[in-house]
Amino acid sequence: MFIEIVGVIVVLMAIRALVAQDRGERLLYLNAMGFGISALIALYIQTPFGAIIAVTYFVASTLSSNAIAYALDRVKEEILLDE
């Protein structure tokens, strides 16, 4: 039951990420999708190895979200400096 609920939430976040106009909103939805996917991994593979995979995916998706946000912020600052 939990797997289906989390799956529906992940699909809704994917749709909202496609529809969102602002980059910041998209990053929030993508981050929520990362949390949901790591939860799906942990719920589906109910072993200690599944927990390790879920934690690894969670950490990697969080790092990538932060890297994307940092890069977008730097690009925004550079555009402002050029004007």
Tell me the pLDDT tens digit for each residue of 15-40. 999 998 887 788 888 888 888 888 89
Cβ atoms < 10 Å from Cβ of 72 = 13
The CB-side HSE value for 79 (13 A sphere, CA atoms) comes to 6
Q: How many domains does the chain contain in total?
A: 1
Domain that includes residue 24, residue range: 2-82
Predicted model pTM: 0.72
What pLDDT, on a 0 to 100 scale, did the predictor assign at position 16?
A: 93
